[in-house]
Amino acid sequence: MTAFTVAPAYGVELSCYDSGGAGPAVVLLHGLAGSAREFFPTADAFPEYRVILVDLRGHGGSTRVPPGAARSDYVSDVVTVIEHVGGPVVLVGQSMGAHTAMLVAAERPDLVGGLVLLECSAAGGDVEGHLAIGDYFRSWPTPFSSREAARSFLGDGPLAQAWAEDLEERADGFRPRFDSDVMAEAAAGLSAPRWKEWHAVRAPALVVYGGRGMFTPTPRTRSFSWVTGFRGLTCPRRRMTPTWTLSTTGWTPSAVSWTAKGVDSAGAAPRTGGRWPVRAAWCGRRQ
């Protein structure tokens, strides 16, 4: 895994990783308060593809307190990364990263040949609820004396465990690699409905929900199916499917692993120009 940086705007540097594979490019975007580290096992499952991992602004090794954390900032950042790598790419996002991926695909269809959204909604939500996320992060008794102490405080859920694993060890203890105020600003941007953007997506799209994830099969999430070329899948008995494969000819789910195919409804090859299977080991975490 080769580290590199991209500077999409004044005062912002993004920490990125390139698996160096010779195949088509797959760009992976993490969720709120996460980092590219979460996708390292996923990248290892793609030896034949060029996997690009991004620490989004305000996260991980990227600029901790950027000049802005609006949705448009994240979209612009990802566009810059894809242009640096060379598009079109298969764009995969989880939670807030999936929301960003959807907006990128809507704004720059020339850069996105295929889209995979894990635990995502275009319906928006409560602004106050999203802002309260900052209060939650500020309530953490940091620095934690150890990673074990962090796990004890945060809980044993997959999201909490991912946060605990991503803590940065410093001289005084373990601290998160993000700023709470920036997380609140980033989360607030998720509150506006984005159906217009979703309807503008032209890339073949796959939307995945965990059977025990943060979304239920309401009319809001089912509305994703209004878009031509959409295929959706809920993985039962799992917070998120541990393995997945994406290609182009049909789809069959199972309880533990599944294969999703045929994401362009006409049965034609995706717009990347040929077959673009996407395979990954995945440990789910929620927004």
More confident residue, 163 or 229: 163
Of the candidates 105, 282, 107, 121, which has an alpha carbon nearest to the alpha carbon of residue 204? 105
| pLDDT level of residue 206 (50, 70, 90 thresholds) | confident
Class of the CATH-defined domain 2-126+192-281? alpha beta
Q: Give the per-residue pLDDT at 267.
A: 25
| pLDDT tens digits, one per residue of 169-201 | 999 999 999 999 999 999 999 999 999 999 999
Q: Which contacts of 67-72 are long-range, i.e. CB under 8 A and separated by 24 or more positions? A: 67/9, 67/10, 67/11, 67/12, 68/185, 69/182, 69/185, 69/186, 69/189, 70/185, 70/189, 71/99, 71/100, 71/103, 71/189, 71/190, 71/192
Structural domain spans, the chain = 2-126+192-281, 128-184
pTM confidence score: 0.80
Q: Are 217 and 211 in contact (CB under 8 A)?
A: no
CA–centroid distance for 40 within its chain: 13
Confidence check: pLDDT of 98 > 90: yes
Contact 35, 177 (CB under 8 A): yes
* Max Cα-Cα span within the chain: 57
Rounded Cα gap, residues 218 and 265, in angstroms: 23
Confidence (pLDDT) at 272: 31
